[in-house]
Amino acid sequence: MSQDKIRDNINKHIYENIIIGGGPAGLTAGLYLSRSRVDVLLLEKGFSGGQVNLTETIENYPGFPEGILGPELMQRFEQQAVKFGLKIMNTNVSEIYPDDQESKRVFVIKTDDGNFYSRSVIIATGGEASKLKVPGEEEFIGRGVSYCGTCDGAFFKDREIVVVGGGDTALEEALFLTRFASKVTIIHRRDELRATKILQERAFHNPKIHFSWSSIVLSIIGKTQVEAVQLKNVKTEKITILPCQGVFVFTGYRPNYPLLGDLEARLVNENGYIITDDNMQARVEGIFACGDVRAKGLRQVVTACGEGATAAFFVEAFLK
């Protein structure tokens, strides 16, 4: 259906389901729901694919033994969902709230193109790793700069890499990355780690892990691939160059979602992630969440797909 046709429906139509976010979780939910002939609309603010579009090669999505480019995989997801009739509209969703005027429960999805209405909502808005915002970072994403050890660690076999950050994620990922890299230097802006003691002990005892204390990254240097980082010691102000082939940044991760108003206190945990049960049902009836926005342990394309399918299945059950 064309975007104009979809726009005609604004203020006139109550969908059975609206999916917010067109990454792997949202597109999989959309594939399942449209294939089941549920009246569903997917709202995505930019290109479909989300964070996967920033990943050069995905090697751990089953079915592609040679790996596949992130944007290509996401294009295929979109094509497949659209083939089964999924309607996708590009617009920014700003808010979700229950419509008090309706006798049956209806959610209002406020967007830059007006309000949409739906009996159920799947929030699949993903999240975003915090960036260092230093020269070279954007340029070398996928060419040495990464925000995911599980995704990209295997590309750094016998390479020297740095991990930026001193929290639980940085240490867990640094420990994981020692399976591949010959040397992992943790760059932390203070002289004391934030991570839990057990992770600190493991890192201190790992012969492959080294530390650059009280240091910040000033820039990431290279020609076509990462070749080094420029560091500044914040105590001595001394500037040094540390050669490396990979820079893994773990300085925090933020889930993305629209304003949830009064619903937020019920839906979200203390770290800002949406809590669901095993059926992807959030703590407000009719609202489901899947993918990186969910409170969970593993954030991967393959887990997002499983959660998208699960959300779709239980949305159907809810609608019945």
86 binds ligand NAP (CB under 6 A): no
CA-based radius of gyration for the chain: 22
Distance CA 277, CA 236 (A): 50
Longest Cα–Cα distance in the chain: 66
253 binds ligand NAP (CB under 6 A): yes
172 binds ligand NAP (CB under 6 A): yes
Count CB atoms within 10 A of the CB of residue 84: 14
147 binds ligand NAP (CB under 6 A): no
Window 233-252: residues binding ligand NAP (CB under 6 A):
250-252
254 binds ligand NAP (CB under 6 A): no
* DSSP state at residue 31: H
The residue from 7, 13, 143, 190 that contacts ligand NAP (CB under 6 A) is 190
Residue of this chain nearest to ligand NAP (CB atom): 167
232 binds ligand NAP (CB under 6 A): no
Distance CA 269, CA 263 (A): 12
The residue from 21, 70, 165, 258 that contacts ligand NAP (CB under 6 A) is 165
169 binds ligand NAP (CB under 6 A): yes
Q: Which of 39, 99, 112, 148 is catalytic?
A: 148
Q: Which of 4, 99, 112, 151 is catalytic?
A: 151
Closest CA to 56 of 179, 123, 144: 144
Q: φ, ψ for residue 127 (rounded to 5)?
A: -160, 180
CB of 40 to ligand NAP, least distance (A): 32
Distance CA 185, CA 248 (A): 10
Amino acid of residue 83:
K
Active-site positions read 148, 151-152
Residues found near ligand NAP in the complex (CB under 6 A): 132, 164-170, 172, 189-190, 194, 216, 250-253, 271
